Amino acid sequence: MKMETTLQGLTASLQIARSARKIIGFVPTMGNLHEGHLNLVREARKLCDVVVVSIFVNPIQFGPNEDFDSYPRTLEQDSHLLAEVGCDILFAPSVEQMYGTQPRLTNIQVNKITQDLCGAQRPGHFDGVAVVVTKLFNMVQPNYAFFGQKDYQQLVVIQQLVRDLNMPIDVIGVTIARAEDGLALSSRNGYLTAEQREIAPKIYQSLIKAKQQLQQKQPLAMVLKDIGFELTQAGFEIDYVEARTTLLQSIEQFDQDIVLFVAAKLGKTRLIDNLPVKFTG
């Protein structure tokens, strides 16, 4: 596995693959890798001749009170993990390499679907995501890009971005990786205390219960209310509990395929999860 830290080095490493019309797969990450990230690389390995993974903690997607400075940087450990699962090129640029030294005057916004859910709780977050992903797509020029479905809203935003800007990239969503007790794997799980880690799987448990209730024809509004009540009782501070269509449109009743969303805090740690629910009539 090669590691590149500059655009020039990345371009040189990919030149032979591009000349030979190799299929290039790309997995963008912020590092501190866990099994969920590694699953993305494994999926890329199945479809692609060359797999590129980026590690870049993107400052412009963090809000003023969020954890950019304390976000774990574990590049050496991450590089060993990536080599083991078949990554060909690790791209680990600096902030200066990504954004230069001059003021950034260009922004990218995906409207409507970024305004609710995590977008409402984290103003400007998805603008920062859209900018950095567009830059990375331009640098890597992959055929396929792989994103985890845990960040479902982000996945839909990137798919919309690619469609709207006619980028020749297939964006692939990969199933959420979970711990044995159901907790969605996340770099932020490391912030949880031992006691909080015992409580955290209740988010997934509540989603599973809600899915069963919906399949038993219980009203959507009541099911969402039950999720919020159960999690509050367990010690969570709720950001939102919502149901949306698979394209993130608002919905009032369960009459089509939907996705259930939860974002909640345990102490200072913000956890998100989601669960698709198919409508069977």
217-236 pLDDT, tens digit per residue, is 999 999 999 999 999 999 99
Choice among 63-67, 111-115, 227-231, 254-258 with the minimum mean pLDDT: 63-67
User: Exposed e or buried b for every residue in 159-188, given b needs 16+ CB within 10 A?
Assistant: bbbbeeeebebebbbbebbbeeebbbbbbe
* Residue 151 marked in a binding site: yes
* pTM of the full structure: 0.95
Question: Whole-angstrom Cα distance, residue 31 to residue 89?
Answer: 14
Q: Is 80 a catalytic residue?
A: no
* Residue 149 marked in a binding site: yes
Q: How do the domains of the chain map onto residue ranges?
A: 2-174, 189-276
**Strands 258-266, 269-277: parallel, antiparallel or unpaired by DSSP?**
antiparallel
Residue among 4, 24, 25, 37 flagged as catalytic: 37
User: Exposed e or buried b for every residue in 54-82, given b needs 16+ CB within 10 A?
Assistant: bbbbbebbbeeeeeeeebbeeeeebbebb
* Residue 250 marked in a binding site: no
Within this chain, domains 2-174 and 189-276 share the same CATH topology = no
pLDDT value of residue 281: 80
pLDDT value of residue 69: 86
Q: What architecture is domain 189-276?
A: 2-Layer Sandwich (3.30)
- CATH topology for 2-174 is Rossmann fold (3.40.50)
Residue 108 has pLDDT above 80, yes or no: yes
* Residue 96 marked in a binding site: no
237-267 pLDDT, tens digit per residue, is 999 999 999 999 999 999 999 999 999 999 9
